[in-house]
Amino acid sequence: MSDAGTSTRKTTQTLQLGDGFPMPRHVAIIMDGNGRWAAARGLPRVEGHRRGVEALRKTVRAASDLGIGFLTIFSFSSENWARPQAEIQDLLSLLRRFIRNDLIDLHKSNVRVRIIGERDDLDREIRLMLEEAEDLTRNNDGLTLVVAFNYGARQEIARAARRIAAEVAEGRLSIEEVTPELLSRYLDCPDMPDPDVIIRTSGEQRLSNFLLWQAAYSELVFVPINWPDFDRSALEGAIAEYRRRERRFGGLIAQTGS
């Protein structure tokens, strides 16, 4: 990932000026529409996924340039294993290629990579690659890129509940101590702030089991373009839409910060 240039700094400044809610600290994206993008062009689905990786590179670079602290991407859901085996292998091959080709670049750009999702039942090679990405970038303090892989929000909440139940059973916690705040500490990435805005591409308007606990007060922005066409301009447009919103967090007076 290249460093931001002068034009990038001007763009960042423009987005931060004026009325409206401040720049989001945490942006989450459901990257949808790779297959539809390919079908519309008479191309195989794997080509849509390849182009989706290119869109991811652009988006990570733009998020870093814009000063966003956390970018969470829904890369592979726990339900995706039900797809045809050939497509699953294509997706996993692209994951391997992304880590091998882009990890050093991300590290040089001070990006920290973190992974959320179930790891115990993953292929050992994939699990080691994910751990390598986290270990190499652990001390970076720029953009945190959170990759949701083999991830489902209901499964994440269930894992947290099981860990809490075990501690209660062993006497380390009392039932009275179980609060929403405590459960949050047992999620996959407990020190990550909740997303300010969740963006979904392709025009679909649902969360599809993504960050359900963390999305309690997130703004949702649905964009009509398919993921391979997503770029810096689309990201800035979604952020501009977010900044026009009035966030109340369940109260009567709009909040001005997360």
In a domain, 219, yes or no: yes
Residue 253: pLDDT band (50, 70, 90) is low
What local confidence, expressed as pLDDT, does residue 96 receive?
A: 83
134 by Cβ neighbours in 10 Å (0-12 / 13-18 / 19+) ranks as middle
Look up 80 and say whether it is catalytic: yes
In the sheet that holds 144-151, the strands lie side by side as 112-116, 144-151, 70-77, 26-30, 197-200, 219-222
In a domain, 12, yes or no: no
Q: Name the domain count of the chain.
A: 1
Q: How much of the chain, in percent, has pLDDT values that exceed 90? A: 73
Look up 32 and say whether it is catalytic: yes
Annotated catalytic residue, options 3, 32, 110, 188: 32
What local confidence, expressed as pLDDT, does residue 34 receive?
A: 94
In a domain, 168, yes or no: no
In a domain, 164, yes or no: no
Give 225-250 as a DSSP string: S-GGG--HHHHHHHHHHHHTS---TT
Going by the DSSP 8-state scheme, the letter that residue 22 receives in this structure is P
What local confidence, expressed as pLDDT, does residue 63 receive?
A: 97
CATH number at residue 117: 3.40.1180.10
Residues 216-229: what's their mean pLDDT?
97
In a domain, 167, yes or no: no
Segment among 32-36, 79-83, 148-152 with least mean pLDDT: 79-83
In a domain, 97, yes or no: yes
88 by Cβ neighbours in 10 Å (0-12 / 13-18 / 19+) ranks as middle
37 by Cβ neighbours in 10 Å (0-12 / 13-18 / 19+) ranks as buried
Most confident of 11-25, 122-136, 208-222: 208-222
Q: In the block, which residue shows the tokens 């000063």?
A: 67
**Rounded CA gap, 67 and 4, in Å?**
10
Which among 84, 90, 213 has a CA at the least distance from the CA of 148? 213
Annotated catalytic residue, options 34, 80, 110, 139: 80
In a domain, 173, yes or no: no
Range of the domain at 236: 23-152+194-243
Question: How confident is the prediction for the chain on average, in pLDDT?
Answer: 88
**Rounded CA gap, 172 and 245, in Å?**
43
In a domain, 180, yes or no: no
**Rounded CA gap, 144 and 68, in Å?**
9
What local confidence, expressed as pLDDT, does residue 21 receive?
A: 66
